[in-house]
Amino acid sequence: MTTTIERGAAAGADYLDQRTGIGAAVKSFARKVFPDHWSFLLGEVALYSFVVLLISGVFLTLFFVPSMAEIHYEGPWAAMQGVEMSEAYASTLRLSFEVRGGLLMRQVHHWAALIFMASIVTHMMRVFFTGAFRKPRELNWLVGFVLMILGLAAGFSGYSLPDDVLSGNGLRITDGVVRAIPIIGSYLSYFIFGGEFPGQDLIPRLFTVHVLLVPALILALIVVHLLMVVIHKHTQYPGSGRTDQNVVGFPLFPVYVAKAGGFFFIVFGVIALMAATMQINPVWNYGPFDPSIVSAGAQPDWYMLFLEGSLRLMPGAGTEWVIGGYTLSLNVLIPAVVIPGILFSLLALYPFVEAFVTRDTGEHHVLDRPRNRPFRTAFGVAVLTAFFVLLVAGANDLIAAHFYMSLNDLTRIFRVLFFVAPVVAFILTKRICLSLQRKDRELVLHGHETGRIVRFAHGEYIEVHRPLDEHERWLRVAYEPEHPLEIAPPVDSRGVRRKGYRLDKVRQRMSQAFFEDRIEPVTPAELAAAHSHGAHDELEGGSHVASPRELEGSAPGGGRTIAEPADGSTPDARNR
């Protein structure tokens, strides 16, 4: 028996299918399986905060006036009565004071932008540390990387629109950085500002960039990004039953329609809560842009802070060179162009570097546990540490003020830290990864500690260890560590020099750096050997009072009988 609704739906579906063939798409998508893990939500947060940005942004464009024409303010905000300001700034005040819900939408928009960038960065970290960028997803990593750069551009162009003192000084710094670019810098500055800073054109131009160019590019690349996810099918975390040939999870309809669809509303709700309770960018306090005013303790949005810190750390003395009468400002170029360029290039190109080193051509759909790739994890943490030092240095004046420290000393400390901290972070992270792998080995070989102490007849005490079940164990042994590459000798058997030897030599050197230190997973033989160490198995049943069911499979281990890793776990350069 069919209801009216079902009949209507069937008729509608029939109409559509005859004209679009949508049935085939529904058939292949509706029950498509996606794996489940909280870290997969990070990319979703980015997507949903972008949707929130579009919704709140459209609202704002209806009231914002992108014009630098000077007017005298005559609105309700008493502190600005009669003050000369641009129409852009005046309309931002109007949005805050006169449009009901306008301030809410402004704050929703700004918070959503901060969360958009934060979720992109953490999503990239997830992809990086789990090796999700490996074949076949290298291109999608690049698409994601470009999306992050576009996110920076969107944030920066939007932040500058209200034409207040803070954003105006941000633009002035931009002008200074652009001018430092050799040969074309001065003309580039004219290109951006339509003449000299601040000019009359910048706000309308930034508006077009912010509401049309950048969002259109982001939207197009998001489509590509998601299409590639569908084509590749989502990666999955390692675990029993999960292989490179399958995808284990829940069907799109209904589970992810409800979970992911619902999650959009959760993200929107949380951003709304932040906008309701946490004030952001109160431009009515800053005042309209005036090129002679600057406020101490001013900070850009967090995703630009690393640039600010980088500019602050660079020592100025002796770093401006005059070559043939032309001025080269290394004190601006190095921190604002070269260092971010290096850090971002490292990020963008890492998948290709790793593929070059491993010579790996297989498809990977099961993610790595970060500990099982110590070099990659340590490298990622080192790059992040460099970013983080720059980011904190961008707030050195606030740190100095809050903690009564010398600003100059802080700057000098950060200068040293920028070089030292990534190295320390690399070494520490690598050691932590290796230790976690050893911990995994120990768990697999000796099982969980149970806290049950047993005394044997001859007076010996041991703690009973409970072996891992096969699923727990599989998680810890199911990885293949990479080994340093062996390469063919430089000359063949007849003494003729081999083509491509140099490249191979580079590859081998890098491979050694990547994979020299490694821990092999436990093999069945090692596990068997570890169990036979005990030799108390038959004693155990009678020697203590726990119920027989609990004892089943229990193996003694612990203090006395920890087995050595049989092989391969020893970082050793001597025998390669």
Partner 1 sequence: MTDHNSSTDLTPRGGGDGRLPARFTDPGHAPHKLRRADVDPDANKRAERQVVLLFGVSILGTIGFLVAYALVRPGETIGSMRLSNLLLGLGLFLGMFGIGAAAVHWAKTLMNDHEVSQERHTLISSPETRAAAVQDLKDGAADSSIGRRGVLKGAMVSALALAPLSIAVPLIGEVGEDWDISKFGRTIWAKGVRLAQDPSGRPIRAAEVTIGSAFHVIPDNLEEFEHPLDEKAKAIVLMVRMDPRDLKEAPGREGWSYEGIVAYSKVCTHVGCPVALYEQQTHHLLCPCHQSTFDLADGAKVVFGPANRPLPQLPISVDDEGYLVAQSDFLEPVGPSYWERLK
Q: Which residues 291-320 are close enough to bind partner 1 by CB under 8 A?
A: 291-298, 308, 311-320
**Contact in structure between 375 and 369 (CB atoms under 8 Å):** no
Rounded Cα distance, 93 and 103, in Å: 9
Assess 233 for contact with partner 1 (CB under 8 A): yes
Ordered DSSP codes for 461-480: EEEEEEPPPHHHHHHHH---
Within residues 33-52, the interface with partner 1 by CB under 8 A covers: 33
398: its two tokens:
């606030």
When the beta carbons of 122 and 481 are compared against partner 1, the nearer one is: 481
What tokens appear for 467 in the block?
A: 């072996």
Residue 524 within binding range of partner 1, rule CB under 8 A: yes
Please select the residue that binds partner 1; options are 250, 356, 388, 501, rule is CB under 8 A.
250
CB closer to partner 1 out of 243 and 345? 243
| Choice from 21, 325, 451, 542 touching partner 1 (CB under 8 A) | 325
What region does 181 belong to: left with phi over 0, alpha with psi -120 to 50, or beta? beta
CB of 457 to partner 1, least distance (A): 30
- To partner 1, the closest distance from the beta carbon of 285 in angstroms equals 9
Site string for partner 1, 14-33 (x = CB under 8 A): -----------------xxx
Which one of residues 175, 301, 504, 540 is an interface residue with partner 1 (CB under 8 A)? Answer: 175
Which CB atom, from 246 or from 345, has the smaller least distance to partner 1?
Answer: 246
386 binds partner 1 (CB under 8 A): no
Cβ atoms of 284 and 98 within 8 Å: the answer is: no
Tell which one of 331, 372, 511, 561 touches partner 1 (CB under 8 A): 331
DSSP 3-state of 309:
helix
Stretch in the footprint of partner 1 (CB under 8 A) among 13-21, 154-162, 273-281, 545-553:
273-281
Please report how close the Cβ of residue 103 comes to partner 1 at its closest, in angstroms. 5
Asked if residue 396 binds partner 1 (CB under 8 A), the reply is: yes
Residue 454 near residue 461 (C-beta atoms within 8 A): yes
DSSP at 494: T
Cβ-based neighbours of 551, under 8 Å, separated by 6 or more: 464, 540, 541
Two tokens, residue 501: 């030897």
Q: How far is the CB of 458 from partner 1 (least distance, A)?
A: 27
* The one among 441, 466, 531, 536 contacting partner 1 by CB under 8 A: 441
Note whether 337 binds partner 1 by CB under 8 A: no
Single residue of 19, 196, 497, 549 touching partner 1 by CB under 8 A: 196
Q: Tell me how far apart the alpha carbons of residues 549 and 183 are, in angstroms, rounded to a whole number.
A: 80
Q: Using the rule CB under 8 A, is 266 a contact of partner 1?
A: yes
Cα 320 to Cα 179: distance, rounded to the nearest angstrom: 13
- The verdict on 275 binding partner 1 (CB under 8 A) reads yes
Q: How far apart are CA 156 and CA 510, in angstroms?
A: 38
- Which residue from 62, 246, 488, 535 is in contact with partner 1, where contact means CB under 8 A? 246
The residues in 119-138 that bind partner 1, with binding defined as CB under 8 A, are 136
For the record, the structure tokens of 307 come out as 């640039």
* 569 makes contact with partner 1 (CB under 8 A): yes
User: b/e for 58-84, b at 16 or more Cβ within 10 A?
Assistant: ebbeeebbbbbeeeebeeeeeebeebe
Total of chain residues touching partner 1, rule CB under 8 A: 149
Which is nearer to partner 1, 61 or 243 (by Cβ)? 243
Binding partner 1 by CB under 8 A: which of 50, 116, 197, 286?
Answer: 197
Binding piece for partner 1, criterion CB under 8 A, among 75-83, 146-154, 373-381, 453-461: 75-83
**Contact residue for partner 1 among 63, 237, 264, 356 (CB under 8 A):** 264
Binding partner 1 (rule: CB under 8 A), the pick from 148, 180, 347, 425 is: 180
**Strand 555-557 vs strand 461-466: parallel, antiparallel, or unpaired?**
antiparallel
- Pick from 8, 12, 23, 182 the residue near partner 1 by CB under 8 A: 182
Question: Rule CB under 8 A: is residue 187 a binding residue for partner 1?
Answer: yes
Q: Find the binding residues for partner 1 in span 483-522 (CB under 8 A).
A: 483, 520-522
Q: Which stretch binds partner 1 (CB under 8 A): 233-241, 338-346, 348-356, 422-430?
A: 233-241
- Under the binding rule (CB under 8 A), the answer on residue 143 touching partner 1 is no
When asked if residue 399 is in the footprint of partner 1 (CB under 8 A), the reply is: no
Residue list 543-562, contact with partner 1 (CB under 8 A): 562
Nearest residue to 491 (alpha-carbon basis) of 479, 501, 478: 501
Q: Would you call 409 exposed, middle or buried from its count of C-beta atoms within 10 A (0-12, 13-18, 19+)?
A: exposed
Q: How far is CA 324 from CA 184, 327, 378, in A?
A: 16, 8, 44
Nearest CA-CA partner of 210 in 156, 288, 162: 156
- Per the listing, tokens 């010579």 go with 359
d(C-alpha 88, C-alpha 539), whole Å: 84
Nearest approach, Cβ of residue 23 and partner 1 (Å) = 20
Q: How far is the CB of 542 from partner 1 (least distance, A)?
A: 29
Per rule CB under 8 A, is residue 440 in the interface with partner 1? no
Per-residue string for binding with partner 1, 204-223, x by CB under 8 A?
A: --------------------
CB of 212 to partner 1, least distance (A): 15
d(CA 540, CA 554): 9
DSSP per-residue codes, 168-236: HHHHHHHHHHHHHSTTTHHHHHHHHHTSSSSTTTHHHHHHHIIIIIHHHHHHHHHHHHHHHHHHH---B
